[in-house]
Structure 1
Amino acid sequence: MAETDGNKLVSKTSRNAKASKTSAKSSAPTSKPLTKAKAQTFKYSNASTLSNKPKFINLQWPNFYDFIDDKNQDLPKENQLLDEFCDRVSDLGFPLSEEGGALLENLDKEVEKRDQDRFDMYIYNDWNGWGISEVLENYLKDFNKDIFKKTVSPFKKWAYVEAVTCFLNWGDLMYWLNNEGGDSVKAIAAMIGLMVLTSYSALAEHSLFKPDSEIKNLGIISLMLLDFAKGPGCDLDIEWGCELLRMCDEAGINLDKEVRKQVDVSKKDLKELRAKYKKKQNGYKEAAEKKGWKPADDIGDKWEEKQWFRWDWKLEYKEFQKNHKGGNQHDLTKWSKKKREAYTLGSEAFSRRIGIESESESESDFDSE
């Protein structure tokens, strides 16, 4: 397998320093001081950041009431505290870290700032979709700033994955998925997949990517990502789903055990994804052995799309951000009152802008005659 940012699970065990050679015939001390073992270095997060343990809340399933009449549900009993439901998946909901919750709340707020309907405005049909793309580009930009920052804990890096997973599954994505910038949407979806796979490696660096991890939602969040790829994102040519499953399988994280009625992914779906990555084995080997690998080397097949044999966050984000800079262009709260008024439905300024005489202006003209 290729040793890159994304698909190499970094071991936390440091390599032993070479033993210094001494004469077997002499017990005299060497004139050179013994070489001290090098301090362990980390690629993503320093070990000291692990003391910042995440606190979990319970996020209720949005489709909770679809199953309200089901029998034998795993729900709190009368007078039972909800504490234990914050640490495990149940029919009530699933664990979400407080940091993940804060990021999710901010995602929603940023999308609202770019929602022309919320402001009773009309600018362009695809305005809302472009706004969501801008929000996600900013989100990926923030992740890029943090992923290799060693003072940021792996828990915080995983929080990015938690939040965007919930947003992709339950946010109103209609405008985003159907706007005319389809290629841009596909590119963003691909980078989100790369963000997830890179985060897996960041967790593995400190033995957090495993079945009994301190991170209580590894399995269910991973399954929900596959739900997005299969459902809302089915037309985005998402090919990273089988790689997500492969990395979970190799780490012993059994997603078959996570399958449940609230998430639209079946064991049959997982079986098909496993078959898909197993067919790629030769490709992994060839990509791993290629010297001077670059992202363009992973583009193939008749559609000229990424094959996911190998990946590298630094290299691929550098290329991605050239055409996906994010920003605040679609943030309507940044507009002046006068500019917003010119696009506000029913306003005189809106009527003047599109060349329609308003009713009040017509009455004024009539009264002056």
Structure 2
Amino acid sequence: MPASKRQKTSTRSSASTRTEEDKATPHKNDKNEANNTSETEEEGDPHEYICIPRDLFDAEAEKSAANVVDSADTESGDSNAESDELDAEAETPSEEPASSRSRQTAHEIYSKDFKEGKAKGIYGSLASKHPDWKWVTMRAAFDKHDFLRLKEKYCDPDFFGMYIYNDWKGWGLQEITENLMVEFDNAFHKKGGPSLNEMWVLISALGRWIASDPAELINNEDGETVCKLCGLIGCALLTMLRALDSAGELKPQSTFLDLPLVISFYLAWSHDLPAYGIEGDVVAWRKQAVALFKRGNLDPSKGIFSTAKLLDKLEKAPNYDGLAVALGAVPEPESEDYKDPGDWETLFKKYKKGRNLKMGRTHYDITKMSRAERASYAFDRKDPLAHVSVEDLKNDRLDFV
């Protein structure tokens, strides 16, 4: 991507050996706090909705908005800052005043909200038992998102005390996303017609995953493919929403309870893509996503923090980074009119043809390497997974504690 563009920063931006707590070991369903649904009721319909915790990235968005308000209030003291603070308070998920929460860190906000929800027995419960709780997802989507996060670690050399090359994880995240696009295409072409539930599971899980901002996906050295993949992701979202619209499900009372939430995941992820060199037609889908959100008369308050502001911003947002145009890094765009990315089948075939490789691979999955290959990259020249059976590795049973 253009050198003039910024680079997203990963929370794991420098290589380091694993701490004792990060060592890889196979165990069943030992998840971190954000994904712990220990209160989950017995498994039922995979497309049944359950309650989940609010994601950390949403608390970070709340904190970021509070910082902007505090800064504006301190520097200018004008009424606009007061108005913004009222907006922030209206979106605050806790009963605690926004002014009080603004003094807390994002982790403190998240932890407090998490503990409150856990004390009430919300997490893992059926969504029907907590109609006012907006953080819901299909059981299968929860599992798929959990799997995506696990696979993200599988392609991160830092987790295994090794170094391969700088963009290994970036290529891995690209591979994971492409594999999910293959799954989406299979659900779209399912015998008897597209399977809305199966398609939605994938769109929901992917949206929640990319909203957490896995930076290496955007920063990968293959900038051209990154741009095309972002366009393909947007096309998948539009294809899904149009299918729901045709089925009469793009509405406030939809059986797809997390419609506003999932769309807002994609809006949050994509709102600043042009600033990172991902611009032009590959982000033109954002305006149509906003239009479909409004067409369905969906409630912004049921999306992530600041969904209403994201809708307003992206409805008018240019497809090119204004600063880059001014500096001459990219040519003046001919038009900012919306350009439909094309139907899913056409775009997906075009993407596959351009990749010149078979999609659906696990080339960047470190757990699928031979023991000798892993050892060759390890700092101590020993296989970090020597204690894990081949069967456990083959069946993705490796987790991290």
Q: TM-score normalized by structure 1?
A: 0.63
Q: Tell me, in whole angstroms, the C-alpha distance in 2 between the residues paired with 1:233 and 1:164.
A: 20
Higher Cα Rg, which structure: 1
Q: Tell me, in whole angstroms, the C-alpha distance in 2 between the residues paired with 1:100 and 1:79.
A: 23
* Residue 247 (structure 1) aligned to one of 286, 292, 296: 292
Give the C-alpha shift of residue 166 in structure 1.
0.7
For the residue of structure 2 that corresponds to 1:118, the secondary structure is: helix
Match in the other structure for 1:154: 196
The answer on 1:116 being equivalent to 2:147 is no
The answer on 1:318 being equivalent to 2:349 is yes
User: Which residue type is aligned with residue 339 of structure 1?
Assistant: E
Match in the other structure for 1:71: 96
CA contact (8 A) 1:193 1:240 kept: yes
* Residue 238 (structure 2) aligned to one of 182, 197, 201: 197
User: Which residue type is aligned with residue 342 of structure 2?
Assistant: W
User: Which residue type is aligned with residue 55 of structure 1?
Assistant: E
Structure having the higher helix fraction is 2
Q: Go from structure 1 to structure 2 and tell me whether the alpha carbon gap of 1:110 and 1:144 turns closer, same or farther (over 3 Å shift).
A: same
Match in the other structure for 2:51: 58
Match in the other structure for 1:220: 261
Match in the other structure for 1:4: none
User: Which residue type is aligned with residue 51 of structure 2?
Assistant: N
Give the C-alpha shift of residue 165 in structure 1.
0.7
In the TM superposition, 1:356-367 aligns within 5 A as: none
The answer on 1:347 being equivalent to 2:392 is no
Match in the other structure for 2:340: 309
Q: How many residues align structurally?
A: 270
CA RMSD of the aligned region, Å?
3.5
Give the C-alpha shift of residue 56 in structure 1.
1.1
Structure 1 gaps of 5+ residues are: 1-51, 278-299, 350-369
Q: TM-score normalized by structure 2?
A: 0.59
Give the C-alpha shift of residue 276 in structure 1.
5.9
For the residue of structure 1 that corresponds to 2:51, the secondary structure is: strand
Q: Could you list the per-position Cα deviations for residues 163-216 of structure 1 after superposition, in whole angstroms to 9, with x for gaps in the alignment?
A: 001100125x12222221122111111111100000112222321121210111
* Residue 270 (structure 2) aligned to one of 229, 238, 255: 229
User: Which residue type is aligned with residue 274 of structure 1?
Assistant: E
* Residue 273 (structure 1) aligned to one of 303, 314, 327: 314
Structure 2 gaps of 5+ residues are: 1-44, 64-91, 99-112, 319-330, 384-401
* Residue 178 (structure 2) aligned to one of 115, 137, 140: 137
Give the C-alpha shift of residue 53 in structure 1.
8.1
Q: Tell me, in whole angstroms, the C-alpha distance in 1 between the residues paired with 2:118 and 2:373.
A: 54
Q: Tell me, in whole angstroms, the C-alpha distance in 2 between the residues paired with 1:275 and 1:306.
A: 10
For the residue of structure 2 that corresponds to 1:57, the secondary structure is: strand
User: Which residue type is aligned with residue 241 of structure 1?
Assistant: R
Give the C-alpha shift of residue 247 in structure 1.
1.7
Give the C-alpha shift of residue 264 in structure 1.
4.2
User: Which residue type is aligned with residue 257 of structure 2?
Assistant: K
Q: Tell me, in whole angstroms, the C-alpha distance in 2 between the residues paired with 1:305 and 1:139.
A: 30
Q: Go from structure 1 to structure 2 and tell me whether the alpha carbon gap of 1:78 and 1:203 turns closer, same or farther (over 3 Å shift).
A: same
Q: Could you list the per-position Cα deviations for residues 297-328 of structure 1 after superposition, in whole angstroms to 9, with x for gaps in the alignment?
A: xxx98489995236211111000012344312
Give the C-alpha shift of residue 146 in structure 1.
1.0
CA contact (8 A) 1:88 1:95 kept: no
Q: Tell me, in whole angstroms, the C-alpha distance in 2 between the residues paired with 1:227 and 1:241.
A: 10
CA contact (8 A) 1:53 1:155 kept: no
Q: Go from structure 1 to structure 2 and tell me whether the alpha carbon gap of 1:175 and 1:80 turns closer, same or farther (over 3 Å shift).
A: closer
CA contact (8 A) 2:170 2:220 kept: yes
Q: Tell me, in whole angstroms, the C-alpha distance in 2 between the residues paired with 1:211 and 1:69.
A: 23
